[in-house]
Chains A and B, each alone.
Chain A
Amino acid sequence: MIALDNVFFRYPARRRDGLGDEWVLEDISLSAMAGEFVSVLGPSGCGKSTLLSLISGLLRPSSGKVLERGREVTGPSRTRVMIFQGHLLFPWKTAVQNIEFVLKSRGVARNLRRGHALEYLRRVKLEDHADAFPRELSGGMQQRIGIARALAAEPDVLLLDEPFSSLDLMTRCTIIDELKTIAADMNKTVFLVTHNLEEAFYVGHKAYLLSGSPGRITADIDLTTTKPDQLLSLGADSGFQAFQERVAALMQDC
């Protein structure tokens, strides 16, 4: 389980006059249980990727705390794994080798790695493409290998940064269902950053809405209790800003 307590973050100032070092994230508090699927929504540049990096431990908060099972996160760990925006597979490694890389980091013996790696590929239905290089595979296949690679770390928490944004609709639907099943079966906590409301509401148990400059949480929605028709009427038109206001209003009604 993951919790953020009053997290503030800014990137180290690049300019001496101190301009350009505003807070990227301001006073973020949130939590997610094991098995919970959390969607994070917000306009581009509002700090969603930064938020995931903080949870992963690749970045440290400027103040406040990131906690995993009550213990402060001080650096990256295989228990919290990112599935990166874009294709960040290693192009010099085949599908199965990309996964073996993670198994090696986990200390799996050399002679067992390939067998294990194929197991993870099977979970995303790509065992037939084990020996293909990423560039020989479609965007959707690459993204599924990214998921398999993350699963190979046997993490408790999966962090997905707009993983589906470059995929066509059909592929996206398949992968979202696959991911939902995997996460539920394996009792993982999943954070999904997305622009897409349907996506966020379909898979999420909970959604956080962020506003930009500085990034703040403007609403959190319990998707298990909020009625679908309430949600659908929210995102239909007139932009994200209006949507956020309506969501905030809805939250007060609840």
Chain B
Amino acid sequence: MELERGTFLYEAWTARWSLLEGLMVTISSSVMTIIIGTVLGFAVGLVLTYGMLPFRILARLYVDIMRGIPVLVLILFTYYGLAILKIGVKPYWAGVIALSLFCISHVAENVRGAVQSIPQGQHEAGMAIGMRFFQRLRYIILPQAVRRALPPWVNTALEIVKGTTLLSVIGVVELLLANQQAIARNYMILQFYMAATIVYIIINFSIAQAAAALERRYAYLRY
């Protein structure tokens, strides 16, 4: 296929490597953040629910503060804060750290809500057959709570993918900034933003579909 100079496809083809790289940065920072945020958020969520009082208060403080700060501010704060403290991290990592801090707080709150929504009778039924706290958690409470936490978890994951666009302000060349750089060369504003938008929609649609499939997989568990 011959591509004519000056068409969108031509310009996109010219910029393909930097766009692809931007896409990879978006995906890798999202995945990294979601994994860190889910694992640590899960732990913080349990502390929030069952932790000893001082730890619970600390966790509560953390969650409330993180959820109250605009993500952009969190990103700038982390990036420049670390720089001021002379901790040298690349913008990419500063961004992943900031998004993770945000993600942890949301996952923690989701997990707490899901765990507390399991009726006390489930704990008591476990106690009555002699199960200990961690056994009850592992075999009775969490299997039910995880299924309830899935829908809000998907929301959080989608927020994170969208949130990676904010990393552009600290110079991380993710998908949005890669597009902006292409636009700076060819002024095809509408076309490139549209293309970027479609890619974000595809990513998030895929995540939502994967989660929906997971939910269907367990749909037989109606309770």
- The answer to whether A and B belong to the same complex is no
